[in-house]
Structure 1
Amino acid sequence: MKVKLMMEDGVLPLRVPPQMSIYADQHNVIHLVQSMVSSLAVDQPQDPIAYLLLLLQDSSVHVPRVVLMGPPAVGKTTLAGRLCADLGAVHVTMETLLEDPSPLGEEARHHALKQQEVPDDLLVDLIQGRLKQSDCFNTGWVLDGLPQTRLQARSLQQGGVIPKHVVLLDAGEDVLLERHRGRLLDPLTGDVYHEAFVRPCDEAVARRAEKRPDAREGALTADLQRYRCKVTGLSSAYRHILKTVDADQPPDDVYQQAVAFLRTRRCSRTPRVLLLGPPGSGKRLQAKMLADKYKMVDVCCSDLLGWAEADPSSVGEEVRTYVQHNRTVPKNVTLKVFQERLDRPDCSQRGWILHHLPCDLQHAKNLMDSLNAPNRVFFLELMDDVCLQRTMMKHSLADPSVHTAPYDAARECDDNTRTVTNALGVYRTHTAGLQCAFPDGVHVDADQDPQRVFEALDKQLTIQTYTH
């Protein structure tokens, strides 16, 4: 964690001790600060100190702030309207923004009348201006189909518009085309219905509802293509607070899934992930994939001694002394190296994913008693015969035998088999102790395609990021 100390000559970064990060995680400090700063930036009160004191005592910290995304005809407006009615939030759409009587609204209407896209900076200013108004601040808001691009999302975040939840509705193109064909519009209220999917409950509404005059499939197909080009970048801007909901199901089911998600609260925790498992279970690969996605530091304990040997610190000097004399580095020195690496600023700020350590119950206890205790632990489960098969295959691919005599190749294979078998035996000996040290560890079946293992781990990480 890092804060900034203001100096006359500029800004000086001040490193916060690791124990502060632990405290912030335990008491949800980061989430509280984010909520308050976001509200402060949006409302911009005359007396910010008094405002923040009131905010701490008020329930407005918990008002809904929702972004609802999805392709055209997926049902965003219907869901947003229902959510706003139940939550008491303000429904913000492009249409309502264009009703803004200010010069910004007039400029946006000018673009709309010419069938031009509203420029990013203008749209961002419109959204920020709308969310500053007291109704949005006091009761919350649902942005329906806004923002539309990753750039807009980033600009809103920089301006203090930070949603608590983002719901992405998704459905296949054939489903969207079918819904588009059966769309009905209530000319009196502007509400949208569907001939078969969402029929009006009121008979008077059903009689006056009519098909939209602009229901052109070609236009919808073009809109879908534009959406597909933008959705990946847009989703990435909100990836840590986003839930995708399959919209190809009854509206009540879609609504219930969205509401269940909105009832969760995001905890901004620095990820400290521990991967445990036997040789061949894929710890290194899964760690790399997760680190790439969440920008964590990939800490492989089998590589730590090489890192320490090249490090100018006192611990590095200690390691070099053993390596230069071809002596095995003692366990206590290895643990020093491990703690030194996790104390570095990149690990403290971005979080880390650790594998190939701890090796036994004592190592695990030392880790849990330190300032670097993990907050997510996974056991990759794999049978011994599969571990042996995978590891031997890795050996043969990574270092194919150069020997021509059959007995040389056989002896090399036997040596590798014994090495792997011994490593498996050591792991199995300490498995019960490790499971005792980490009783809340999640067990994941590693005997499947690596992508499926990654998805299982990723799902659990997402689940643990939210609490009710």
Structure 2
Amino acid sequence: MTPITFSLATCESALASDLDSCYKRTANHLIAMDETAKPLRIPPEMAIYAEKHEIFDLVQTLVTNLMVDKPEDPIQYLIVLLKRGSVEVPRVMLLGPPASGKRTVARKLCEHTQVIHITDSNILKEDTDLTKKALQYKAKQQDIPGDLWIKLIQQRLSKIDCVRRGWVLEGIPQTREEALSLQEAGVAPNHVVLLEAPDAVLIERSQGKRIDPVTGDVYHVTFIWPEDKEVVQRLEHQKAVSEEQLVAQLMQHHREVHALRKTYRNCLKGIDADQPHVDVFDQVCCGELLEAVSADATNMGELIKPYLESGQQVPDSMVLQILTERLSRLDCTTRGWVLHGFPRDLEQAEKLQESNFIPSRVFFLEMTDDVAIERVTLRSIDPVTGERYHSLYKPAPSPEVQTRLQFNPKDSEAQLLQQLKEYWANASSLQDLYPEAVYINADQDPHTIFESLESRLVGRLQNDS
């Protein structure tokens, strides 16, 4: 067999034209070169060794990441990638309209996962030639040119802290044009979270905001109020935009959100922001636990992936293994945890207790089947604006919107009745297992339900202390 030789120029040309096809064409050969760029003859045995030990895949991954992220220090970047192995760091875009709670959720998410929080304001705090150029536009009260803004984002995300730990982009991108430019620049998220809420709720939320000048945390006199009296005393009024300005911003968001949905449809998760921020965060951070495990290149990930792809229920033994591993992490052991919708039956609850994960408080949200059917089966979404509607509680504002509304097949009455049947079949045994559980009437508005939960939880904590 005649050895194959490649020159540096040949390899670079192939990479530039089509990276994937380049690696496919050279899948049985190892590319090598000396510092003088003279082609080297490679024994066939080396290609066999490289194929056996997946060296081609490793090189493809390294070069792909290098070309996408374009780090300032490529050698250190590659060292970090090799040390990290196959674990993929979080790359999250957190999007949503004004007053949807992006800042609060982003801060909690970064605190929870130790990733880097990136906002438009802290991007401009970098001491680089690009930021100095951008600040000149800001000083003249001019918009930063789009190409310069994309370079600024790319520059920040290529720094070693983002490469090593991952990042959350808060409120970026805002338009489809910006999203496509980021894609062309190689900024590719593995998760996009879109917060959604009715305009009336967002307008109400925009009033009464307070900010902690020490931490930068945002609070609200109605929805989010700090428990620490020292924090309360130092809160400052946050300058609020007028209702006319907010309405204009919301209209701009509605014009762009459908295009953003299409751009990131393969990794997008929409979350209802019209609920307590704790619940929003739980859905952002914990709702994808099984999916995140399946995406991880581990034995457990490979085992549960077929169940998720086929829509089958993951076996309890696997769920418990994943769950107990997650609850054993430092953040859960020091700060506590909330399980939503788990355990579903007595066997799961007993296995959870056997693993020594015993809840300090259990809540049962109660409503009749008729109310559940009314809530679920009559809801729909406008695919153009992303706005959610309900035939009774929030009907479409016009016949034009009504005709384009879409219903989720999972919200059909037949599927819901099956879920209710399974729930009631297990409810009594779970109630017997948790005799001190608190029962909350869920046939109320969300804020009233949250206040009921919070008052009982706070009361329990005070009694325990």
Q: If the length of structure 1 is used for normalisation, what is the TM-score?
A: 0.49
Q: If the length of structure 2 is used for normalisation, what is the TM-score?
A: 0.50
Larger Rg: 1
